Chain A
């Protein structure tokens, strides 16, 4: 708790500096186009085809044919799809040869990291039209190879080399949480049930069928106490957003959405190196910075796409972002607060759990889904009249957290 307190203090002293910095130097940024492929097992499509498909949809949505830059969020292209150098490859195949392009990596939050990069490029005034694509192609590889690759999001020398999968690292977190707060496995069921219920209405989701509480309780263990239905599935997919300065948004799209906050924070990569393993300090810090930038608090957020790679992460994110007290995040699932009609709808299009988790693409999918909600294009999953949406993408077991807040422009 000692470090938490000192970081909290440091945050407070940053308030003024950051506020003035923003007013003085940076431009407001808008999202003027979105695109996504269906998430799933795309045996017939390669990584580049998926990326280009989502990119073409987003560029058509924005009405653009050229861009200043393309940033690609991807975690394991080399391991899973046998391809690195993704920025240039995808730029070329999408018809953007010549543009600035490179890949951004931050494990499971590579997608949001690419968006952060795009935000910085536009906000700084260095670029006007920036395309951000998140893509991951995972299903070509065997399960044990996928598990070994994903484990690289943890500490390679001191976690993965001991035989821990990324699931196992989260299982250690979940076991201790259950021990400290007296929660049972079944208490997390409604996170998965809610995600699957919402995925039914999302044509891009991987699992468009509801699951029952009973099915959750009978699901086989992957790394106990985490069972198959606690866990988001690996998948293929790509999602894209197009950014421009807010002042130019109307030139491209009548339904532009403003990015009112973009914030990244880090903790230790290894779970064992955290001062307090049950508190997601990176999520807390990035959410606090985002709230401050946007001038809002958790009570103002109408939809929240959180990082439900495992049900325990939903509980911990809700706590870290100020929606629940410590040790009480799991209760929000039980009493229906997280449903589409509840005070804090989460995973409104299925979340990582049921939309699917193409890791490096996930952060961009989350933002695309918030844009759909804010535009009123979420179909049967439409939350009533949302004005503010938040997306939080987390790398590893809480090592990196990236929070974006989006708003309907006034």
Chain B
């Protein structure tokens, strides 16, 4: 069930916490102990705004084990306002209406379930801004 694995990721999954390099200013999601750009170890946590746009997307028709209930679902590379790309599912959107450049925002949704006796894993997905 690997519950600790999901629990460990709570800051990233619920709040999009990454890191910012104090040396060169590069912003990273997920968080990293070493800046991949300047190799500085002087990094601090940074909470991203969750605002961004679609950089690329794909609608999945053959899912890996554990994600079949969502078929067909659209996944995206999300370009966050602060710079980094994040991989996530889109939600509250018609699969056919997704376009590169579409403005989106982070929401918390169910990522998957582990059966009747298992946990439900929650995390970030993205939806169009102004959807509600």
Contact = CB atoms under 8 A, between A and B. Distances in A.
Interface in A167-196: 167-169, 171-173, 175-176, 179
B75 A224 contact: no
B86 interface: yes
Given A179-B100, A268-B36, A165 B57 contact: no
B59 interface: yes
- Residue among B67, B76, B84 with the highest chain A CB neighbour number at 10 A: B67
B69 to A, nearest CB: 10
B61 interface: yes
B85 A272 contact: yes
Contacts of A273: 36, 85
A223 interface: yes
A224 B67 contact: no
Nearest to A224: B59
A322 interface: no
B64 A147 contact: yes
A377 to B, nearest CB: 37
A161 B59 CA distance: 16
Interface string A218-250: 001111111000000000000000000000000
B70 interface: yes
Interface stretch (A33-41, A45-53, A152-160, A298-306): A152-160
Given A163-B64, A223-B61, A158 B77 contact: no
- Residue among A148, A158, A169 with the highest chain B CB neighbour number at 10 A: A158
Nearest to B6: A161
Contacts of B56: 172-173, 175-176, 179, 277
Contacts of B85: 271-273, 277
Interface string B76-92: 11000000111111000
A171 B65 contact: no
A2 interface: yes
Given A144-B68, A158-B87, A224-B58, A163 B63 contact: yes
B111 A222 contact: no
Contacts of B111: 161-163
B89 A163 contact: yes
B61 A162 contact: no
Interface in A21-66: none
A3 B36 CA distance: 9
Contacts of A168: 58, 60, 75
Contact of B64 (A151, A171, A271): A151
A145 interface: yes
A54 B73 CA distance: 41
A144 B57 contact: no
B89 A167 contact: no
Contact of B57 (A160, A172, A271): A172
Contacts of A222: 61-62
A172 B62 contact: no
Contacts, number: 116
A175 B30 CA distance: 23
B65 A272 contact: no
A271 B61 contact: no
Contacts of B77: 172, 176, 271-272, 277
- Residue among A144, A164, A277 with the highest chain B CB neighbour number at 10 A: A164
A147 B5 CA distance: 20
B14 interface: no
B66 interface: yes
A143 interface: yes
B78 to A, nearest CB: 8
Nearest to B124: A162
A154 B12 CA distance: 18
A268 B34 CA distance: 13
Given A176-B100, A179-B100, A225-B58, A144 B63 contact: yes
A144 B65 contact: yes
B87 A164 contact: yes
Nearest to A171: B58
A221 B73 CA distance: 13
A270 interface: yes
Contacts of B58: 168, 171-172, 175, 223-226
Contacts of B55: 176
Contact of B70 (A155, A157, A163): A163
Contact of A163 (B30, B100, B112): B112
B37 interface: yes
B9 interface: yes
A37 B92 CA distance: 48
A217 B30 CA distance: 37
B123 interface: yes
Interface of A: 2-3, 142-145, 147-148, 151, 155, 157-165, 167-169, 171-173, 175-176, 179, 220-226, 268, 270-273, 277
7 contacts: A157-B30, A163-B63, A163-B75, A164-B75, A172-B58, A172-B75, A173-B56
